[in-house]
Amino acid sequence: MDLFDSERRVIASARELAASLGSDAHHTVAAAAMDTTGRIHTGVNVDHFTGGPCAEMVAIGVAAAAGAGSLVTIAAVGDHGRGVLPPCGRCRQVILDLHPDALVAITDKSTGGETIAPIPALLPHSYRHPDAAPMRLLRFNARYVDAFRAGKKTLSVRWNEAHRTGRALAYFEDTEHGPAPVVITSVTPKRLSELSATDLELSRPGGLDRYLANLHAHYPAMPDDATVEIVRFRRTASDI
């Protein structure tokens, strides 16, 4: 998945902090987390025989102390040039429960560079804490800002995100637009192969083919036999 400039800034912040850690064996990993306003919160691990917290957990705590709300991107980098590190199992579970729509920096095995992955992809067939109740994010490309603002964007198809009805925030990737409150009114599962133009409220000729092509581009790992979710929502604020 190609990185937005904002995601590169998160990785760069973690890398810069990791490079400053020095030789203290108790602090060997740095993490950075970006909230929906673009603020980046950082932290380092605390290695201790009693089980000190990972850098991601510290960064999440720092963000919470700053009133950050939902986090959109998280990255961890090891000291001494070890590069981007994937979260451990415990961190994956915590991120999934508290920030289920966050994207996490990992190493792209095919290129050796950095890429970004949704947290559900890093913890398939997962348990979700029933009492976590995080504020969910509906992430959108910036090109949908005007359609959203005009009230024309009220439907989206999602894969492997497990949305629910209720309050959420519309978040526009890599823009200066702040999040906008929405209400998810329905979540309808459907086989990808069975999606129709009627399901997606498309009227232009060829619209379904273009929509499916864009969907595959957005979710390159999505199999042809996937079950997707048709998410319908409405705005609850006048502007963004």
Catalytic residue among 7, 56, 161, 229: 56
Of 122, 152, 183, the domain-final residue: 122
Q: pLDDT value at position 54?
A: 97
In a domain, 12, yes or no: yes
- The closest of 61, 66, 157 to 74, measured between CA atoms, is 61
Question: Which tokens go with 51?
Answer: 């089980």
Q: pLDDT value at position 209?
A: 94
Asked if the model's pLDDT at residue 240 lies above 70, the reply is: no
Of 122, 144, 162, the domain-final residue: 122
CATH of residue 220's domain is 3.10.400.10
Q: pLDDT value at position 134?
A: 93
Domain count within the chain: 2
Instruction: Give yes or no for a contact between 29 and 59, defined as CB atoms under 8 angstroms apart.
Output: no
Q: Same domain for 106 and 158?
A: no
Chain-centroid distance, C-alpha 59: 16
Q: Same domain for 189 and 90?
A: no
Residue 7 appears among annotated catalytic residues: no
Q: Same domain for 92 and 168?
A: no
In a domain, 131, yes or no: no
Q: Same domain for 76 and 117?
A: yes
pLDDT digits (tens, 9 = 90+) for 157-186: 999 898 999 999 999 998 888 899 999 999
In a domain, 128, yes or no: no
Reported for 119-124, long-range contacts at CB under 8 A and 24+ positions apart, including other chains, are 119/92, 119/95, 120/96, 120/160, 120/161, 120/162, 121/160, 121/221, 122/86, 122/87, 122/92, 123/89, 123/92, 123/93, 123/96
Q: Same domain for 115 and 197?
A: no
Q: pLDDT value at position 184?
A: 97
Residue 138 confidence class, pLDDT cut points 50, 70, 90: very high
Q: Same domain for 117 and 141?
A: no
Backbone angles phi, psi at 148, to 5 degrees: -65, -45
Q: State pTM to two decimals.
A: 0.89
Average pLDDT, the chain: 93
Give the structural domain span for 48. Answer: 5-122
In a domain, 90, yes or no: yes
Residue 124 confidence class, pLDDT cut points 50, 70, 90: confident
Residue percentage of the chain with pLDDT more than 90? 79
Q: pLDDT value at position 191?
A: 96
Asked if the model's pLDDT at residue 5 lies above 80, the reply is: yes
pLDDT digits (tens, 9 = 90+) for 54-83: 999 999 999 999 999 999 999 999 999 999
Q: Same domain for 216 and 160?
A: yes
Q: pLDDT value at position 237?
A: 67
Q: pLDDT value at position 72?
A: 97
Give 112's contacts (C-beta < 8 A, 6+ positions apart): none
pLDDT digits (tens, 9 = 90+) for 29-57: 999 999 999 999 999 999 999 989 999 99
Asked if the model's pLDDT at residue 104 lies above 70, the reply is: yes
Of 122, 150, 174, the domain-final residue: 122
Q: pLDDT value at position 1?
A: 60
Q: pLDDT value at position 117?
A: 92
Q: Same domain for 118 and 143?
A: no
